[in-house]
Amino acid sequence: MKDLFPVLRVFGILLTFFSASLLLPMAVAWQERLSWAYAWPMGLGMVLGFLLWRGLKRYRQELQPRHGVMLVTLTWVLLPLAASLPLLSVMHAIGRPITFTHAYFEAVSGLTTTGATVMTSLDTLPLSVNMWRTFLQWLGGMGILVLAVAVLPLLGVGGAQLFRAEAAGPLKDTKLTPRMTETAKGLWGVYAILSLGCSFGYWAGGMSLPDAVMHMFTTVSLGGLSSYDASFGHFQSPLLESIAIFFMLVASCNFALYFIALRKGSLRGMWQNPELRATLGVLVGGGLFSSFLLWAQGGLQPLFALRLGMFHLISVASTTGYATVDYLGWPAFVPVFMLLLSGVATSAGSTGGGIKMVRMLILLKQARREMRRLVHPNAVQPVTLGGGVVDNRVIFAVLAYMLVYGGTIIGLSLVLMLSGLEPVTAFSAVIASVNCMGPGLGAVGPASNFGVLTDFQVWVCTLAMVLGRLELLSFIALLTPSFWRR
């Protein structure tokens, strides 16, 4: 319990400020006369958070690595609980009540930037509900804990452990500035600039201001939730789709590279980063390949095939999950290809999900080293990336992560199949959830949603989303006896 008290204190601060974010949907709900439905969840969250914060103030101390893991896990399990209360309240107020299971799933999907939904008739929901759903994705995009380290110096705890626990990818100890707070501020500064540019682009491209803001929330976060049942297909605009493609590509790359470029005042050197080249190469190359297949096997006109192939491949592979058509009617290879790419196509330090491109590069280089050892067993052949040698500890961590990643997908898929779900839907639902991508194949494809699943199946997918957002190892470490030994 002594380890838990300082964690609960910091969580109280996070809960207090997270609850204050309900001011946005509450302001939007003013004309809908639904502000009260957001006011009481906000008040409850702020009171509970403040009580934890002040009640445990004597446990103010520097966070250790185990504290960081505990806090991140606690945050991504309990904050969705606070986020689900407004959904329960408002949906009951408008006469369309939803279950706690569905409300919690929707909140987890938002904060983990997954973009899966169990809600229908989105077009007729109050604007405030869609604003809250999409705003959750924007908050989760860079990570609420990184935001806390950036703007809450009153935490009174070291930011390094929080940043390392929350940051995605295997290379977490690279500091962009001497202080972690400055690093997090820089990343959120880049996030804010990108957000402003995306919202202006959508508005200038023809969206209404609320639509531009909501779809900006879910584009820069690579979340993909929409305020329409038809998703991005509601707009039927090649211009808006092109704007979305641009910002999805930008958000799929490491934000740290943008921060460094801004500090130096030059974009030179960004292209030298191997992960950025691989990310853009896979997304753009995959889009062109999918377009070719749609033209050659799907019988579409070249330009239309290019439009559909590029948009959907980049959307799915970047773990955004927007759709303009039901792509399950395409040649079977294309949807499966897009789904599998969602596991590897985004960079570490981006808002995307999956195993991250840097891990795949390290795995490929390690495989090449092992093959060379068969021929030259005594040669010294270090794994290098971007001109530097990758430490063997990083390689071992990547191998361990991949083992857990594969085991998690197989295990949860089998659980869904045991519950009565057919294999394609079960497998794709788990992959889409663990990769924080959104729509899958089969019954949870782009023309449907996760609302067709039973409550048990929804909880399995909820667990998969949390595991994916925590990058698996953080959560599983809590289950090991060694974690709790002093």
pLDDT digits (tens, 9 = 90+) for 219-265: 999 999 999 999 999 999 999 999 999 999 999 998 888 988 888 88
Residues 73, 14: contact at Cβ < 8 Å? no
pLDDT score recorded for residue 153: 46
If one counts the domains in the chain, the total is 1
421 three-class SS: coil
Residue identified by tokens 């880049």 is 190
In a domain, 465, yes or no: yes
The pairing of beta strand 384-385 with beta strand 388-389: antiparallel
In a domain, 453, yes or no: yes
Quote the CA–CA distance of 272 and 149 in Å, as a whole number: 29
pLDDT band with cut points at 50, 70 and 90 for residue 393: confident
Quote the CA–CA distance of 219 and 226 in Å, as a whole number: 10
Beta bridge partners of 92: none
pLDDT score recorded for residue 223: 93
Residues 389, 383: contact at Cβ < 8 Å? yes
For 156-169, write each residue's pLDDT tens digit.
444 555 555 556 66
In a domain, 446, yes or no: yes
For 332-371, write each residue's pLDDT tens digit.
999 999 999 999 999 988 888 888 998 999 999 999 988 9
Structure tokens at 76: 């991504």
In a domain, 153, yes or no: no
For 273-282, write each residue's pLDDT tens digit.
899 999 999 9
For 413-441, write each residue's pLDDT tens digit.
999 999 999 999 999 999 999 999 999 99
Q: Which residue has the higher pLDDT, 383 or 93?
A: 93
Quote the CA–CA distance of 283 and 359 in Å, as a whole number: 16
In a domain, 360, yes or no: no
- If you compute the radius of gyration of the chain from its CA atoms, what whole number of angstroms results? 22
Residues 28, 22: contact at Cβ < 8 Å? no
For 150-199, write each residue's pLDDT tens digit.
544 444 444 555 555 556 666 555 555 566 677 778 888 899 999 999 99
Torsion angles phi and psi, residue 276, rounded to 5 = -65, -45
137-to-215, 248, 290, 384 alpha-carbon distances in Å: 10, 14, 28, 35
Closest alpha carbon to 283 in 364, 341, 223, 216: 341
Closest alpha carbon to 132 in 165, 150, 99, 109: 109
In a domain, 477, yes or no: yes
Angle between helices 127-142 and 144-151 (to 10 degrees): 70
140-to-1, 5, 144, 350 alpha-carbon distances in Å: 28, 24, 6, 12
Residues 145, 68: contact at Cβ < 8 Å? no
pLDDT score recorded for residue 4: 81
Q: What percent of the chain has pLDDT over 90?
A: 62
Domain around 451:
391-484
Structure tokens at 201: 């682009």
